[in-house]
């Protein structure tokens, strides 16, 4: 069986770690042999953060090769575009939360912000399916990862991983009010 | 895994999805480790996170964050010569700090066993270099094991602990960034805490000699070298080296995570070469390697960073008269960067183009430019206010500013450009002292974090006093070791195990006899600017304590409180004069700049600290 490769990207502080952990565990519940790795770097400091998840018994390394991802999950528009171009294979799938955290160059006025149109153009050139998640007002913006997770679930973007697997994973990883808040949001955003 | 602490203490065999750093802690527990020490540094802090998930009264071993890596290594050594199995862990460059102590370990009888766990960083993801610490193994005659994934981290720690204890030696376990952070399901053995552990102090000079001086040096060195032969035999017996495949004329010798990259690249290769995967890059298993060489016509040595395997294997082949064609590093780039599957594909394609196809080139016509995203100081960070205020006090041109390790290193970037040279932990005062020599014209300013102050900053400060250097040292005090995940330090009033008397930085400086000490909260930007002017005018060694708690930690703690309400600043669009000081000079990431030049506040990021209010000449930022 061909492995299924998921590449996640975002900005430090957006909750990519939890999203990766939930998907990894959900895939495990779904019966996959799963491997993952986070690249932290200076993650907490507003830099780019990425995670790799690879599903399949024959997968030796958790690191996905250039343009070998089947699915890119972007928590932010610039990072979504960056990851599509470096990691997603032609005709792959992008799902992203369309929020913008401006990189330094944009705020300094020396670079242009990536627009939704830029991203769609880059995807269009390579036959990539794009699922854009419209930002909504959330009580806590750090729960954007759960809105994205709900969309991934609704669209069944990870073959074989069902809602119950994701819920089991959330039950494993979260407790108390955090679990309740995240599960409620997950349900309502589906 | 609801509760990591409970999971780590599970008595029955089980399996769980864990990262390498967590798997290591379970191995420590099963191996009966008694003392664990560290100084925080990426990629290893999650080892401490896992340890701390076990309540103090249930933790099967003693753990501390020591003041620096050298002290951590010394504490572990002390415990080991008292009969306790001890482990010290730290990041790659931490071994440079610990080296003076570490280099002696193999000469001394560590009766309890001692394991040094390294978090090496090929790719320099979070380090100032990508040094290859296998060199230290050879230099110090210390065996070194190199796991490839979390399962091997768990297995190899137990092997290392067994070896260290049975030989009464130090053994290194070299992890790399993506081994520390890789996650997979690991099957763990059972563990019974019931067995009583002998904690009685067993130090006895008769176990030594422990004074490696004069006539004792040669015998100790001979003993250390002789022990390596035993280790070589042990590793053969344990069967930790693996050969994958059979019968190809081509062979590949590799180790650690590079092995996984090689498997990835060679998965579909027709006539795949045989692979000898080494568990221990030093001392090398000469018999296994010689046999592998002898049974292949051509052997590629695929090793990340430096050529320690290649050098030794080529020498071995020469000594044994083997004529196998050995292919090592071929280009300068082979020495640089992490051996990801992509990099290994490039290298193996160059070696065996018939076997491994080249990477498909990316068509540049399909690429849309994306702005880079350098790491930033967080919204509300006190360092930002400090840099903004200090910049006002410096002459437009000519000042020389010296960085140190910590979040404040990021001051080197646009738009602050403060901290123009960086070496290592605690080096800023010493470098600045040198820059101040023969220099009456250009003011010299050094920055230093508070954890780093205790780690390695003090000797430079004492030297500046002792030898009367003229510079301004700015201590960027945020009350924590922020960069590595908010570990307490000597001035925090807590250690990893509970409350501890704080050692206030100001009192240390006063005790040393620093004549000129200034202090303010960095949010008082005008006052900080004024203080810096005064300090610069002194033409003497002076210290400015620029204090503000880490706002990432502060905000995280606030969020946990009931009744927490998120706060944000806003911009009065009528008052905004498009001066852009907020985005171009103060540069808090919470501001967003539209193409038309208008500025808004990103409420996802803004924490409402208000440190920006004073930076707007038009007064357009309000709460």
Q: How far is B341 from chain A (nearest CA, A)?
A: 6
Tell me: pLDDT of A99 over 80. yes
- What confidence tier does B72 reach under pLDDT thresholds 50, 70, 90? very high
Query: What pLDDT, on the 0 to 100 scale, is given for residue B212?
Result: 86
* Contact: A66, B359; criterion CB under 8 Å: yes
Q: How far is CA B38 from the centre of its chain?
A: 11
Nearest to B163 by CA among B145, B136, B189, B177: B145
In the 8-state DSSP scheme, what is residue B424?
S
Q: With contact defined as beta carbons under 8 Å apart, do B35 and B75 qualify?
A: yes
Cβ contact, residue pair B604, A99, below 8 Å: yes
Overall average pLDDT of the B199-227 stretch: 93
Instruction: Residue B175: count other Cβ atoms within 10 Å of its Cβ.
Output: 33
DSSP state letters, B147-161: -SSHHHHHHHHHHHH
The bridge status of strand B621-622 relative to strand B599-601 is unpaired
Give the tens place of pLDDT for each residue, B91-132: 999 999 999 999 999 999 999 999 999 999 999 988 999 999
* Other Cβ atoms closer than 10 A to B559: 12
- Dig out the tokens for B584 from the structure: 């171009």
Q: State which H helix or E strand residue B495 sits in.
A: strand B494-495
- Indicate the residue of A35, A106, A141 with minimum beta-carbon distance to B593: A106
pLDDT band for A44, please (50, 70, 90 cuts).
Answer: low
The answer to whether the Cβ–Cβ distance between A173 and B485 falls below 8 Å is no
Q: Are B272 and B248 in contact (CB under 8 A)?
A: yes
Cβ of A61 and B260 within 8 Å?
A: yes
> Does the pLDDT of residue B542 top 70, yes or no?
yes
Residue B587 in tokens: 């540069």
Nearest to B52 by CA among B91, B12, B8, B13: B8
> Residue A61's pLDDT band (boundaries 50, 70, 90)?
very high
DSSP conformation class of B543: E
When pLDDT is cut at 50, 70 and 90, the band that residue B587 belongs to is: very high
The confidence band for B562, taking pLDDT boundaries of 50, 70 and 90, is: confident
Q: What is the pLDDT of residue A140?
A: 83
Residue B16 has a pLDDT of: 98
Tens digits of per-residue pLDDT, B457-500?
A: 999 999 999 999 999 999 999 999 998 999 999 999 999 999 99
Class of residue B323 by CB neighbours under 10 A (exposed 0-12, middle 13-18, buried 19+):
exposed
Q: Is B587 on the interface with A (CB under 8 A)?
A: yes
Contact indicator for B174, B120 with CB cutoff of 8 Å: yes
Note whether A104 contacts B42, CB cutoff 8 Å: no
Alpha carbons B401 and B473: distance in angstroms, whole number: 10
**pLDDT, mean over chain B:** 96
ipTM here: 0.97
Q: What is the mean pLDDT of residues B60-88?
A: 98
The separation between CA B307 and the C-alpha centre of its own chain, rounded to angstroms, equals 22
A106 touching chain B per CB within 8 A:
yes
In sequence order, what are the residues at sequence separation of 6 or more whose Cβ sits closer than 8 angstroms to the Cβ of residue A160?
A27, A30, A31, A32
3-class SS of residue B621: strand
Phi, psi of A176 (to 5 degrees): 55, -135
Average pLDDT over residues B214-239: 93
List the single best residue of A21, A37, A168 to mutate versus B (max B Cβ within 10 A): A37
State whether A109 and B593 contact (CB < 8 Å).
yes
The pLDDT of residue B470 is: 97
> Who wins on pLDDT, B430 or B270?
B430
According to DSSP, the residues that pair with A6 across neighbouring strands are: A53, A71
Query: Residue B466: its pLDDT value, please?
Result: 97
Per residue in B299-336, pLDDT (tens digit) is 999 999 999 999 999 999 999 999 999 999 999 999 99
* Percent of chain B whose pLDDT exceeds 90: 94
Query: Which of B125, B589, B603 lies closest to A39 in CB terms?
Result: B125
User: How far is it, in rounded angstroms, from Cα B230 to Cα B258?
Assistant: 27
CB contact under 8 A, A109 and B580: yes
pLDDT (0 to 100) of residue A41: 65
B415: contact with A, CB 8 A cutoff: yes
Picking from B181, B261, B367, the nearest residue to A38 by CB comes out as B181
Got the DSSP string for B349-401? HHH-TTTSPPPPPP-GGG----------PPTT-HHHHHHHHHHHHS-SS--EE
Query: What's the confidence (pLDDT) of residue A43?
Result: 55
The answer on pLDDT for B192 being more than 60 is yes
Q: Which of A20, A5, A8, A10 is nearest to A173 (CA)?
A: A20
Is residue A25 over pLDDT 70? yes
Contacts of B363 (CB under 8 A, 6+ apart): none
Tell which residue, B40, B37, B46, has the closest CA to residue B91: B40
Nearest one of B44, B42, B39 to B63, comparing CA atoms: B39
CB of B376 within 8 Å of any CB in chain A?
Answer: yes
Q: Is the CB of A103 less than 8 angstroms away from the CB of B261?
A: no
Averaged pLDDT, B255-283: 94
Residue percentage of chain B with pLDDT more than 70: 100
* B348-354 average pLDDT score: 96
pLDDT tens readout for residues B397-456: 999 999 999 999 999 999 999 999 999 999 999 999 999 999 999 999 999 999 999 999
pLDDT, residue B246, reads: 75
pLDDT band of A139, cuts 50, 70, 90: confident
What pLDDT does residue B380 have?
Answer: 97
Interface membership of A111 toward B (CB under 8 Å): yes
The verdict on A120 touching B (C-beta cutoff 8 Å) is: no
Q: C-alpha angle with apex B97: B94 to B103, nearest 5 degrees? A: 105
When pLDDT is cut at 50, 70 and 90, the band that residue A156 belongs to is very high
The CATH fold of domain A4-189 = Pyruvate-ferredoxin Oxidoreductase; domain 3 (3.40.920)
Please tell me if residue B340 touches chain A, with a CB cutoff of 8 Å.
yes
Task: Return d(Cα A108, Cα B576) in angstroms, integer.
Answer: 17
Q: What are chain B's domains? A: 4-237 (3.40.50.970), 242-351 (3.40.50.920), 382-555 (3.40.50.970), 565-623 (3.30.70.20)
pTM (two decimals): 0.97
């Amino acid at each position: 069986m061909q492995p299924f490769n998921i590449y996640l990207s975002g900005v430090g502080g957006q909750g990519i770690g939890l999203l990766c952990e939930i998907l990894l565990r959900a895939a495990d519940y779904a019966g996959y042999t799963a491997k993952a790795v986070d690249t932290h770097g200076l993650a907490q400091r507003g830099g780019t953060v990425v995670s790799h998840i690879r599903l399949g018994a024959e997968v030796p390394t958790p690191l996905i090769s250039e343009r070998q991802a089947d699915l890119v999950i972007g928590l932010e528009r610039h990072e979504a575009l960056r990851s599509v171009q470096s990691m997603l294979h032609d005709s792959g799938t992008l799902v992203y939360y369309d929020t913008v955290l401006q990189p330094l160059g944009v705020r300094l006025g020396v670079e242009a912000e990536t627009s939704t149109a830029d991203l769609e153009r880059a995807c269009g050139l390579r036959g990539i399916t794009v699922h854009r998640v419209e930002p909504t007002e959330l009580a806590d913006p750090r729960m954007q990862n759960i809105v994205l997770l709900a969309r991934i679930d609704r669209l069944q973007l990870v073959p074989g991983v069902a809602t119950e697997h994701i819920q089991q994973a959330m039950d494993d990883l979260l407790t108390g009010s955090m679990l309740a808040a995240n599960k409620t949001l997950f349900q309502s955003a589906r | 895994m609801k509760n990591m602490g409970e999971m780590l203490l599970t008595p029955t065999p089980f399996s769980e999805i864990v990262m390498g750093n967590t798997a290591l802690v379970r191995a420590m527990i099963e191996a009966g480790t008694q003392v664990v020490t560290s100084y925080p540094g990426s990629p290893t802090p999650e080892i401490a996170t896992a340890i701390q998930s076990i309540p103090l009264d249930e933790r099967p071993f003693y753990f501390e964050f020591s003041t620096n890596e050298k002290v951590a290594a010394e504490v572990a050594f002390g415990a080991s010569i008292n009969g306790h199995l001890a482990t010290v862990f730290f990041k790659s460059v931490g071994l440079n700090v610990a080296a003076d102590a570490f280099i002696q370990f193999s000469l001394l009888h560590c009766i309890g066993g001692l394991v040094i766990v390294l978090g090496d960083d090929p790719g320099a993801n979070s380090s100032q270099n990508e040094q290859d610490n296998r060199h230290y193994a050879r230099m110090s005659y210390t065996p070194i094991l190199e796991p490839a994934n979390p399962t091997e981290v768990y297995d190899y720690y137990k092997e290392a602990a067994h070896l260290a204890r049975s030989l009464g030696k130090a053994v290194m376990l070299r992890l790399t960034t993506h081994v520390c952070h890789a996650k997979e399901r690991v099957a763990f053995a059972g563990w019974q805490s019931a067995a009583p552990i002998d904690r009685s102090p067993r130090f006895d000079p008769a176990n030594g000699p422990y004074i490696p001086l004069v006539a004792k040096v040669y015998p100790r060195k001979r003993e250390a070298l002789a022990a390596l032969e035993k280790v070589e035999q042990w590793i053969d017996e344990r069967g930790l080296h693996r050969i994958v495949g059979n019968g190809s004329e081509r062979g590949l010798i590799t180790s650690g995570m590079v092995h996984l990259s090689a498997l990835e690249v060679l998965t579909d290769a027709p006539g795949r070469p045989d692979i000898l995967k080494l568990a221990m890059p030093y001392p090398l298993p000469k018999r296994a390697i010689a046999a592998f060489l002898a049974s292949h016509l051509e052997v590629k040595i695929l090793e990340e960073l430096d050529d320690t395997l290649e050098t030794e294997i080529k020498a071995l082949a020469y000594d044994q008269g083997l004529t196998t064609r050995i292919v090592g590093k071929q280009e300068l780039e082979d020495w640089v960067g992490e051996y990801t599957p992509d990099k290994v594909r490039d290298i193996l394609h160059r070696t065996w183009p018939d076997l491994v196809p080249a990477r498909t080139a990316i068509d540049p016509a399909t690429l849309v430019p994306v702005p880079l995203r350098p790491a930033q100081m967080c919204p509300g960070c006190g360092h930002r206010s400090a840099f903004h205020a200090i910049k006002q006090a410096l002459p437009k041109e000519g000042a020389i500013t010296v960085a140190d390790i910590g979040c404040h290193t990021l001051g080197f970037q646009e738009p602050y450009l403060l901290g123009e040279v960086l070496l290592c932990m605690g080096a800023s005062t010493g470098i600045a002292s040198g820059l101040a020599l023969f220099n009456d014209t250009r003011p010299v300013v050094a920055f230093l974090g508070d954890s780093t102050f205790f780690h390695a900053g003090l000797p430079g400060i004492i030297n500046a006093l002792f030898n009367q250097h003229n510079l301004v040292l700015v201590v960027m005090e945020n009350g924590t070791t922020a960069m590595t995940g908010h570990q307490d330090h000597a001035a925090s009033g807590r250690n990893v195990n509970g409350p501890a008397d704080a050692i206030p930085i100001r009192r240390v400086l006063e005790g040393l006899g620093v004549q000129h000490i200034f202090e303010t909260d960095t949010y008082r930007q005008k006052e900080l600017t004024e203080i810096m002017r005064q300090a610069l005018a002194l033409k003497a060694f002076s210290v400015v304590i620029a204090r503000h708690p880490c706002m990432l930690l502060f905000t995280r703690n606030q969020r946990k409180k009931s009744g927490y309400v998120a706060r944000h600043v806003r911009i009065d669009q009528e008052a905004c004069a498009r001066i852009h000081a907020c985005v171009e000079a103060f540069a808090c990431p919470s501001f967003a700049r539209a193409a038309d030049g208008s500025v808004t506040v990103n409420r996802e990021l803004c924490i409402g600290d208000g440190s920006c209010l004073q930076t707007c000449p038009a007064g357009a930022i309000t709460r």
